[in-house]
Chains A and B, each alone.
Chain A
Amino acid sequence: SAVISQKPSRDICQRGTSLTIQCQVDSQVTMMFWYRQQPGQSLTLIATANQGSEATYESGFVIDKFPISRPNLTFSTLTVSNMSPEDSSIYLCSVEDDWGGPYNEQFFGPGTRLTVL
């Protein structure tokens, strides 16, 4: 299994600013995912990040608002740009363990709780 850490664990930010969230994995993984979990809601996939290529964004999410970097196989960042109170959520990093079996298990980081004032 993969161990995932995220920084920061929480932050309170002012409207109009940007925050970059870091995700570090203890092993090399091909697929990394970023999710948003709004208060009391389920997880919504923002984008999939593969090393060496542009992230693939889900409907409703755009690169200008949520730029993602994936410089190597163990690290990724998600930036929440020009924040508004509606961006207040938990942001979770996830990785897929492609162990060569019939399915790929996903592991999740501890999340970053973002509050925008």
Chain B
Amino acid sequence: AQTVTQSQPEMSVQEAETVTLSCTYDTSESNYYLFWYKQPPSRQMILVIRQEAYKQQNATENRFSVNFQKAAKSFSLKISDSQLGDTAMYFCAFWCRADGLTFGKGTHLIIQP
């Protein structure tokens, strides 16, 4: 079984600042995928970014980028130029074909005006 750990229950930054959310995982799988999901107050889970474990290049989606350190089993999310609409719960998740999706406990990110 896999485990996903998010050590920051809550974070708060000012609008336009850059913020990094941390995530570590543990697995014996060699072929897997990592995701960051966003859950705003509307409850709708939204996929923010995806990283294939076999790719060394860090994934980037507009203001969102990851720092994927495979040897350290670390997968942090960086949000640049943060906006009020980024306020949400952020869940790190691990997927492998054997076990499907495993979520971390989440980080509540608050963007202050």
A103 to B33, CA, bound (A): 8
A89-117 contacts to B, CB under 8 A, are 90, 92, 94, 96, 102-106, 108, 110-111, 113
Q: Which of A42, A90, A102 contacts B105 (CB 8 A)?
A: A42
Secondary structure of the A side of the interface?
strand
- Tell me the nearest residue of chain A to B43, going by C-beta: A111
Q: Residues of A within 8 Å of B, CB-based: how many? A: 19
Interface presence of A62 (CB below 8 A)? no
Chain B interface size, under 10 / 10 to 19 / 20 to 34 / 35 or more: 10 to 19
Contact assessment for A42 and B91 in the assembled complex, using a CB-CB cutoff below 8 Å: yes
A105 to B46, CA, bound (A): 12
Q: Which of B43, B47, B52, B103 contacts A110 (CB 8 A)?
A: B43
User: Which residues of B pack against A, CB within 8 Å?
Assistant: 31, 33, 42-45, 47, 50, 52, 91, 95, 97, 100-101, 103-106
